[in-house]
Amino acid sequence: MKSPNMKNKRPTLQDVADLVGVTKMTVSRFLRNPDQVSAPLQTKIAEALEDLGYIPNRAPDILSKSKSHAIGVLLPSLTNQVFAEVIRGIESVVEPAGYQTMLAHYGYSKEAEEARIATLLSYSVDGLIISESYHTERVRKMLAVAGIPVIEIMDSVSPPIEQAIGIDNEAAAYAMTEFMIKKGRRKIVYFAARMDQRTLFKIKGYETAMLDNGLTPLCLKTNSASSFTLGATFLKDALQQQPDTDGIFCTNDDLAIGALYACQKAGINVPQDIGIAGFHGHDISRAMVPLLTTVITPREEMGRLAAEHLLSRLQGNPVSQRIIDLPFKIEAGESI
C-alpha cells in the first residue's frame, strides 16, 4: 500500500507528487527552478508543498554527491570567549553562503579530537576548520583520505596541513614582555592556564624576552581553564614565590582581570606596585578601570578569513597562501 504519511513520517517528494498527480521528478524540478514546469502545475505543486509542509531532505544528495553543504568546525573548547568570537566570524561568512556549520569540541584531548574529526567526516562535511597545529598521524591520515579542504586556525607558525590562518603567539608574547620591561618591570611573572600549544608558544615568547634582557622568568602553570577567579589564586601564589613581583603577564584577559581585582582587594596599587597585562583584548578591557594593557588579537577576523578561504577552496580555487599571519597589537592601556 503506497499510502502517503501512513506512519506520520515526514512527507517526501513522492507524497507531494501523489497529491498533485505527477511524478516526483516534476516536483523536484519545481523546487530547483519553478519555470521548468507548466504554469498550472506550479500553482498546484506550490499548494501541495505548503499543504503537506514539505521539508527538503539532504540525505540523498549527500549520499549521491558526497556534498553536504555543511562545514565542520572543530575547536578545543566552546566556553572560552576567544572561540565564541571565532565562531561568530566563521558563521558570518558561512551562513549567508548557504552552508551549515557542524560544531564540535574536544576539550583539548587528542583522542577526543580524533573521534570528533571522524564524526564530522562521517557526516560528509564539505570542509573543515580546525584548531591547534599539532595533530596525530591518524588525524592526518583521515584528513588526507577524506580529500576535503582543511584550514587550521589560531596559530600561524607551524607548517600547516594545507593552510593556516592565525597569529604568531610567541612573537606576541615576546612583544608584550618587552613592552613591560621597557616600562621598567623587572620581576615579571607569567600566568599560564590550559597548557595548550598556543600557551606553550606564549610562554616561550615570554621566557625568551626575559632572558634576552637578562631577567629571570617565572611561570605559574595549571591545566585547568582560565577564569577570573583563577587570576586571584595565581596572584597569591606569585606573591608567595616572589614577593617583589612587579609585573604580571597573563595568557588571557580573564586571568589578568581576576589578578587585578585581587590586587585591589589586597591593597596593591595597579600599575604603581604591580603592572598587569592580558592577552586578547576583549570588550571589557576597553571599559574597565584601569584600562587593561593587553595584546589585541583579531579573533573574529580569523574566523571570517578562515571561512572565506574555505569557501574559495570549495569553489575549486587552489590554496592561495599556505600561512596567513595576522597582525596583533599591543594595547597600552593603563594597567602597566
Partner DNA sequence: CCATGTTTTGTTACAAGTAACATTATCATA
Partner DNA sequence: TATGATAATGTTACTTGTAACAAAACATGG
Residue 104 binds its own copies, judged by CB under 8 A? yes
- The answer to whether 319 touches 163, Cβ cutoff 8 Å, is yes
- The answer to whether 214 touches 244, Cβ cutoff 8 Å, is no
CB of 56 to DNA, least distance (A): 6
- Cis peptide bond prior to 271, omega within 30° of 0: yes
Residues 207 to 266: which contact its own copies by CB under 8 A?
Answer: 227-229, 231-232, 254, 257-258, 261-262, 264-265
Q: What one-character-per-residue DSSP string does 302-313 give?
A: HHHHHHHHHHHH
Q: What one-character-per-residue DSSP string does 148-212 give?
A: --EEEEEESSSPPSSEEEEE-HHHHHHHHHHHHHHTT--SEEEEE-S--HHHHHHHHHHHHHHHH
Residue 123 binds its own copies, judged by CB under 8 A? yes
Site for its own copies (CB under 8 A): which residue of 97, 102, 195, 218?
102
Q: Which does 256 bind (CB under 5 to 8 A by kind): its own copies, DNA, none?
A: none
Residue with smaller CB distance to DNA, 63 or 144: 63
CB of 65 to DNA, least distance (A): 8
Residue identified by cell 613581583 is 245
Beta-bridge partner residues of 127: 71
Q: Which does 278 bind (CB under 5 to 8 A by kind): its own copies, DNA, none?
A: none
The residues, ordered by sequence, that sit 6+ positions from 144 with a Cβ below 8 Å of its Cβ are none
CA dihedral of 86, 92, 98, 104, whole degrees rounded to 10: 20
Q: In the stretch 58-87, what mask flags binding to its own copies with x, by CB under 8 A?
A: xxx-xx--x-x-x-------xx-x--xx-x
- The answer to whether 102 touches 126, Cβ cutoff 8 Å, is no
Residue 36 binds DNA, judged by CB under 7 A? yes
**Binding region for its own copies (CB under 8 A):** 8-11, 52-53, 55-60, 62-63, 66, 68, 70, 78-79, 81, 84-85, 87-88, 91, 95, 100-105, 118-124, 141-142, 144-147, 227-229, 231-232, 254, 257-258, 261-262, 264-265, 283-284, 286-289
**Binding region for DNA (CB under 7 A):** 9, 12-14, 22-26, 28-29, 31-32, 35-38, 41, 56-57, 59-61, 63-64, 66
